[in-house]
Amino acid sequence: MAVLLYSLLAVIGVVVGHYQESLISKGYPESALTLFRLIYLQVSLPLAVLSGMALLLPRSGWAWVIHGVNIVLNFLNPCFLPLMIFMLLSWMKPQTRAYFIHNP
């Protein structure tokens, strides 16, 4: 889910960059559009790649940690905040640790 949302935000950044001249002619400030485009691309694209790579990790102790870090990184997005709180709580359960063969 995070991969799709971050990819969509990156695409929005590209679209804003593509239509920047048109938006400037409609009265939007150029500096704000450039900042918007860069922030969306520089934040969303790496998070989409990291979230996608986390899906391909094997079941191991270090993968459990990487998935936990990915959950915490998703706290940066307010859209995910309610979901991530419950996901982090379920991630800390012993059953999840046992699935990833993590012995604390």
Q: Residue 30's pLDDT is what?
A: 87
- Rounded to whole angstroms, the Cα distance separating 86 from 52 reads 20
Q: Residue 54's pLDDT is what?
A: 85
Q: Is the pLDDT of residue 70 over 80?
A: yes
57 and 67 Cβ atoms separated by less than 8 Å:
yes
pLDDT band at 42 (very low <50, low <70, confident <90, very high): confident
The most distant pair of C-alpha atoms in the chain lies apart, rounded to whole Å, by 59
Residue 28: burial class (beta carbons within 10 Å; 0-12, 13-18, 19+): middle
- Rounded to whole angstroms, the Cα distance separating 63 from 11 reads 29
pLDDT band at 103 (very low <50, low <70, confident <90, very high): low
Domain locations in the chain as residue ranges? 1-52, 57-104
Q: Is the pLDDT of residue 77 over 80?
A: no
